[in-house]
Amino acid sequence: MATDDEDYVYDEASGEWVPTGNGAVASEEEEAVVVRDAVGNILADGDQVTLIKDLTVKGAGQTLKRGTLIKSIRLTGDAQEIDCRYDGIKGLVLRAEFVKKR
């Protein structure tokens, strides 16, 4: 009777038993979220984007017009949301489908 000395861990995301060495690699790949703008360009922290549509900002009583430049965005970990700053609006979160990389 042969015994296998390799340890296995149950991966809930895939529903499979994987060797312990492969579990760390899989979790690192899952953490890397790719955020794409309306055109399909990959966005990164610090990029500048422009709005492709007029957006009414809830709670601020203000409308951001199409073509507005947003500087220095930050990725939130969600594939469709980006965190950014704009004059007079604190905590502005935009959907990536409404911006285009500049």
pLDDT computed for residue 80 by the predictor: 93
Enter the tokens of residue 44.
Answer: 């990164």
Enter the tokens of residue 63.
Answer: 């409308």
Spans in the chain with pLDDT lower than 70: 1-5, 22-31
Q: Give 97's DSSP letter.
A: G
pLDDT computed for residue 5 by the predictor: 59
pLDDT computed for residue 4 by the predictor: 57
pLDDT computed for residue 55 by the predictor: 95
pLDDT computed for residue 10 by the predictor: 83
Region(s) of the chain under CATH 2.30.30.40: 35-101
Is 35 in contact with 98 (CB distance < 8 Å)?
Answer: no
Q: Which CATH number fits domain 35-101: 3.30.2140.20, 3.40.190.80, 3.30.2310.20, 2.30.30.40?
A: 2.30.30.40
Give ∠ CA 35-45-93 in degrees, rounded to 5: 70
For 24, phi then psi, to 5°, come to -70, -35
